[in-house]
Amino acid sequence: MDVLKYAIRKLVGGIPLILGVTFVSFLLMVYFGPDLTFEMLGKNPTPEQIAEVRKELGYDRPFLVRYAEYLKELATLDFGLSDSSGEPVSAMLLRSIPISLALVTPGFILGNLLGVLLALVAAYHRSGWIDKAIMGFSVVGMSISFLIVIIAFQILLSSSYGLNLFPVRGWNVHSLYDYVMYVTVPTLASVFVALGYNTRFYRAVIVEEMTRDHVRTARAFGIRPGKLLYKHILKNSAIPIITRIMFSIPLVIVSGSLLIESYFGIPGVGKVTFDAITTGDQPVLKAVVGLTAVLFVITLLLTDIMYRAVDPRVSLK
Amino acid sequence: MPPNLHSLLLVIVILTTAGCAREQDEAVEAGDEIAPEIKVYKASMDGAPSTIDPVQASNVYANAVVLNAFDTLYRFKYLARPYEVTANLAAGMPEISEDGLVYRIRIKQGAHFIDDPVFEGGAGREVVAEDFVYSIKRHFDTTQRPRGAWLWQGRVVGLDAWKDAGSDYDEQVEGLRALDRYTIEIRLIKPYPQLVYTLAQGYAAIVPREAVETYGREFGSRPVGSGPFRVISYDSARIVYERNTKFRQEPVDIWAEGYDPETQGHIGVEAIHGRSPPFIDRLEIHFIAENAARWNSFTKDNEIQYLTVPNEQFDNILASKDPIVANPEISEKYHMRHSVESGFVFINFNMDFPEFGYNDDPERERRNKALRCAIIKGFDWARRNESFYFGLGRVFPGIITPAVPEFDPELSEESVTLDIDGAKKLLADNGWNEDTIPEMVYGTTAGVSQRMFYEQFRGFMKKIGYPPGKVVLKQYATFGDFVKDTSNSRLPIVSKGWSLDYPDAENTLQLFYGPNGSPGSNDANYKNPEYDRLYEQSAVMLPSPERTEIYRRMNQMVIDDCIAISGLSRTRIYLWHKNVIAMPDREIVSGFYLRFVDIAAEDG
SS3 string of B382-413?
HHHHHHHHCCCCEECCCCCCCCCCCCCCCCCC
B32 contacts A172? CB cut-off 8 A: yes
Neighbours of B58 (CB within 10 A): 22
CA nearest to B516 within chain A: A44
Vertex B418, ends B356 and B435: CA angle to 5°? Answer: 40
Treating both helix axes as pointing N-terminal to C-terminal, what angle do B479-487 and A269-279 enclose, rounded to 10 degrees? 10
Q: Report the Cα B92 to chain-centroid distance in Å.
A: 25
CB contact under 8 A, B480 and A84: no
Mean predicted confidence (pLDDT) in B121-138:
97
Condensed to tens digits (0 to 9), the pLDDT of residues B41-99 reads 999 999 999 899 999 998 899 999 999 999 999 999 999 988 999 999 999 999 999 99
Q: How many angstroms away from the CA of A85 is the closest CA of chain B?
A: 4
For A39-51, the pLDDT digits (tens) are: 888 888 888 889 9
Backbone angles phi, psi at B183, to 5 degrees: -125, 130
Q: Which residue has the higher pLDDT, B375 or B14?
A: B375
Closest in B149, B286, B478 to A280, CB measured: B478
Instruction: Select from B121, B120, B125, B122 the least CA-distant residue to B110.
Output: B125
The CA R_g of chain B, rounded to the nearest whole Å, is 26
Instruction: Assess whether pLDDT exceeds 90 at residue B24.
Output: no
| Cα B402 to chain centroid, rounded | 16
A199 to each of A202, A240, B240, B298, how far by Cα in Å? Answer: 5, 13, 42, 37
End-to-end, the C-alpha distance of chain A in Å comes to 12
Residues of B in contact with A173 (CB under 8 A): 20, 23-24, 27
Touching A: B residues 276-295, CB under 8 Å = 286, 288-290, 292-293
Contact criterion met (CB below 8 Å) for B128 and B181 = yes
In whole angstroms, what is the distance from residue B225 CA to residue B210 CA?
Answer: 12
Which distant-in-sequence residues (6+ apart) come within 8 Å of B14 by Cβ? none
B24 vs B68 pLDDT, higher one: B68
Share of chain A above pLDDT 70, in %: 98
Q: What is the pLDDT of residues A235-266, one digit of tens each?
A: 888 888 998 898 888 877 776 688 899 889 89
Assign B542 a pLDDT band (cuts: 50, 70, 90). very high
Q: In degrees rounded to 5, what are phi and psi of residue A28?
A: -65, -40
Chain A residues within an 8 Å CB radius of B5: 306
In DSSP terms, B318 is beta-bridged to B326
Average pLDDT over residues B303-311: 95
Tell me the three-class secondary structure of B550-564, residue by residue: HHHHHHHHHHHCCCE
Q: Answer yes or no: is pLDDT of B21 > 60.
A: no
Residues in chain A closer than 8 A to B150 (CB atoms): 42-45
Closest residue in A to B445 (Cα–Cα): A278
Contacts of B292 in chain A (CB under 8 A): 151, 154-155, 263
Say if residue A240 is exposed, middle or buried (CB neighbours under 10 Å; 0-12, 13-18, 19+): middle
DSSP secondary structure string for all residues of B237-299: SEEEEEE-TTS------TTTTT--HHHHGGGTGGGGTT-PSP--SEEEEEE---HHHHHHHHH
The CA R_g of chain A, rounded to the nearest whole Å, is 24
Beta strands in B327-381 (DSSP E): 334-340, 344-349
Least confident of A85-99, A301-315, B2-16: B2-16
The separation between CA B532 and the C-alpha centre of its own chain, rounded to angstroms, equals 25
Q: In this model, does residue B508 exceed pLDDT 50?
A: yes
- The pTM of this model reads 0.89
Q: Say how far apart CA B393 and CA B567 lie, in whole Å.
A: 10
Contact B44, B286 (CB under 8 A): yes
In terms of CA atoms, which chain B residue is nearest residue A102?
Answer: B16
Angle between helices A282-310 and A238-250 (to 10 degrees): 160
Measured between CB atoms, does B487 come within 8 Å of chain A? yes
Nearest CA in chain B to A231: B1
Mean pLDDT score, B277-299: 95
Which residues pair with residue B325 across a beta bridge?
A: B320
Contacts of A176 (CB under 8 A, 6+ apart): none
Does residue B596 contact residue B428 with C-beta atoms inside 8 Å?
A: no
Q: Model confidence at A133, in pLDDT bands (50, 70, 90)? A: very high
> In which element (H, E) is residue B67 found?
helix B60-69
Whether B5 has a pLDDT exceeding 70, the answer reads: no
3-state helix, strand, coil in chain A (%, to 5): 75, 0, 20
Q: How far apart, in whole angstroms, are the C-alpha atoms of residue B365 and residue B217?
A: 49
Cβ contacts below 8 Å, chain A against chain B, sum to 200
Please write the tens of the pLDDT for every residue from A10-43.
888 889 989 998 999 999 988 888 888 888 888 8
| Mean pLDDT taken over chain B | 92
Q: How far is CA B418 from CA B229, B382, B469, B557, in A?
A: 50, 8, 22, 20
Asked if residue B497 lies in contact with residue B521, where contact means CB atoms within 8 angstroms, the answer is: no
Confidence of residue B19 (pLDDT cuts 50, 70, 90): very low
Q: Give the residues across from B43 on adjacent strands.
A: B285
- For A204, residues 6+ apart whose C-beta sits below 8 A from its C-beta are none
Q: Is B148 on the interface with A (CB under 8 A)?
A: yes
* CB-CB neighbors (< 8 A) of A120 in chain B: none
**For the stretch A135-156, what's the b/e string if a residue is b when 16 or more beta carbons lie within 10 angstroms of its beta carbon?**
bebbeebeeeebeebbbebbbe
- Distance from A174 to chain B by nearest Cα, in Å? 5
State the CB neighbour count (10 A cutoff) for residue B324.
17
> Which among B8, B143, B296 is the nearest to A155, CB-wise?
B296
Helix, strand, or coil here: B344? strand
How far apart CA B285 and CA A54 sit, in angstroms, is: 32
Q: For residues B475 and B460, give the distance between their C-alpha atoms in angstroms, rounded to a whole number.
A: 20
Residue B264 · residue B23 · CB < 8 Å: no
CB B197, CB B63: distance < 8 Å: no
Under the banding of pLDDT at 50, 70 and 90, the label for residue B432 is very high
Judged by CB atoms closer than 8 Å, whether chains meet at A101 and B516 is answered as: no
Q: Residue A274: its pLDDT value, please?
A: 87
Number of H-type helices and E-type strands within chain A: 14, 0
Task: Report residue A2's pLDDT band, with 50, 70 and 90 as the boundaries.
Answer: confident
B5 three-state secondary structure: helix
Mean pLDDT in residue range B229-256: 95
The predicted pLDDT at position A316 comes to: 66
How many angstroms separate the Cα of A229 from the Cα of each of A110, A125, A224? 19, 12, 9
Measured distance CA(B215)–CA(B118) in Å, rounded: 9
**pLDDT number for residue B494:** 93
Q: pLDDT tens digits for B354-408?
A: 999 999 999 999 999 999 999 999 999 999 999 999 999 999 999 999 999 999 9
Picking from B7, B12, B16, B25 by the largest number of A CB atoms within 10 A of its own CB, the best residue to mutate is: B16
A87 CA to chain B: closest CA distance, Å? 5
Closest C-alpha to B578, from B334, B243, B248, B216: B334
Q: Contact at 8 Å (CB) between B484 and A38?
A: yes
- CA-based nearest residue to B588, from B72, B224, B229, B155: B72
pLDDT, position B99:
95
Q: Which of A100, A167, A173 sits opposite B27 (nearest CB)?
A: A173
CB under 8 Å to B310, separation ≥6 — which residues? B46, B291, B294, B295
The residue among B247, B212, B303 whose CA lies nearest residue B68 is: B247
Q: State which residue of chain A sits closest to B1, comparing Cα positions.
A: A235
Reply yes or no on whether the pLDDT at A210 is more than 60. Answer: yes
| Least trusted range by pLDDT, from A239-248, B136-145, B282-291, B456-465 | A239-248
**Which is it for strands B325-326 and B318-320: parallel, antiparallel or unpaired?**
antiparallel
Side-chain half-sphere exposure of B390, counting CA atoms within 13 A? 19
Q: Which of the 8 DSSP states describes residue B509? A: H
B592 to chain A, closest Cα gap in Å: 22
Instruction: Tell me the shortest Cα–Cα distance from A168 to chain B, in angstroms.
Output: 5
Looking at residue B28, its pLDDT comes to 37
